[in-house]
Structure 1
Amino acid sequence: MSHPEYILTLSCLDQRGIVHRVSGFLSEYGCNIIDSAQFGDAQSKLFFMRVHFSAENPAIADEALRTAFAALAASMQMNWQLNDATKKPRMLLMVSKIGHCLNDLLFRYKSGLLPVEIPAIVSNHTDFYQLAASYNIPFHHLPLKTGASPEAKQAQEARVLELIATHDIDLVVLARYMQILSPELCTALTGKAINIHHSFLPSFKGAKPYYQAHERGVKLIGATAHFVTGDLDEGPIIEQDVARVDHAMNPETLTAIGRDVESVVLARAVKWFVEHRILLNGHKTVVFK
């Protein structure tokens, strides 16, 4: 007989007895810990914990478990979430005219490597409507012309927010969506939107960053996945990686290698999010791998 499984994540001021009280609570309520990870940050004085457990007492309903833990959490001033481990988060993808990250995420989704539901893809261009159709995912073309007025941008973003609400979206992924989000939209998506960019920023801003890097003779290229904030490309970092390059590679080769790194880094960040492994620690993250 299978039992309901949950993932509990929490953070609070570091103090004696947190692990003891959480594990004791789970034992008292008939739960069995499958795996657990914790971290105390000496700098922020915060304690972080992730516990994957099964609820093995059929007499204790989901609501009763949550209500009882809420009382414990309040007594220790915890920020916490209790998620159904078997529920697939709902993800909205946003893309412009460069599709490597979109294509990679869709493949991982279709092959079962990424446990999510994708009810919608949004783009300000029409380049990938056929790709979306091949996965039987609705494609929403929400154009935004270069130099669009603030009113036009506001109206376009209102449609994005409408789709997020309609489809009960848990995570928005900017899979090379080349539009700057308004501060209002960034605020609305706090903690549930992930972006990817090449790690040359801020050294190589603007068009063709890999060509700029080639001109400077770089030896490492990389990518950064981070949460979206109102500070462009400066949100809390989730994952980064690099690849070595050399003088014999032309700009096209650098671009191809860079796009591979971007795809992998974004996929890791998304997977960790949907597995509830990422906790915010001020302007940083704690990632339980």
Structure 2
Amino acid sequence: MIEPRQWKALWLFSRTGKLTNTAREMYLFQPALSAMMRKMEEETGVSLFIRTGHNRISLSPAGRVAAEFAGQLPDLQQTALDAIRQTSRSLGICAPGIRFYLEKPGQLKTEENLQGWDTEMLEDDRDLEAGLDSGRWQAVILHLPPEAGYLVQPLFTETLFLAVPNQHPLAQKDSIRLADLAGQNLLLHTGIGFWNGFVRSRLADAHFASIDDFAAFQSATLVGAFPYFTTNVVPWTIPDNVCILPIDDPQVQATYYLVCQKKDAALFHHLCQVLYHQTGTSAVYPAAERKSS
């Protein structure tokens, strides 16, 4: 199969007419370029070049036809890429709770939902914005409002809570502050998007038992040895040997924003119509609840 690099060399040669100039444009030595040309002829099964004495070479009639197509390939590639991106349905997100929110029964206004969309999670909002600009995603959901230049709609608010084993000293509190967790041993699931960096940056003195696998993390929470973080959108059932404590710091609430480029206004308004807009989702855990062991 003829490689894109070979097509490019053929097209450049049709423009320059000289191997030396083409090799310079391709950052190749001339013998390597000559070998590339011969391989291209082997791939097509026809003579693309006319070789004469004194190391002179020119395009054959077949070579001129091939070079004409080679010149069209960049535009065709971009057309194909645009068409692929238009049919692709991908969403960049900054935290896993967004998936729970989108998949929540009754969360979608109509039968038309986001189940056909691929979601990809990154921790940094800036990386998500860059992916939106490059066309990697058609929309992103951020935990901070972006700078001007985008279409933005608030969606819902997620609140961080601490799940504490009933026998743990912290279980005697009605609520806690992040400062109360200094020096504590905590379970931490690493796949929590931006919350991972948030927790680590604000609890530099805590000791984390980090677990990558979600199933293994769930199993570890059942043991009830260490506190761990949960939120008001996490769908799992809290074990009976654990109580949920509100965290008093205001930073533990994150409002999520649907963001699209302005040129994608039709898509943005469609997504706004499909999703319920909740800027203040009520907490599943409104107050600390101690359960008997």
TM-score (normalizing by structure 2): 0.20
Structure ID, larger Rg: 2
Which structure shows the higher helix fraction? 2
Greater RCO (Cα-Cα under 8 Å, separation 6 or more): 2
TM-score scaled by length of structure 1: 0.20
Identify the structure with the greater strand proportion. 1
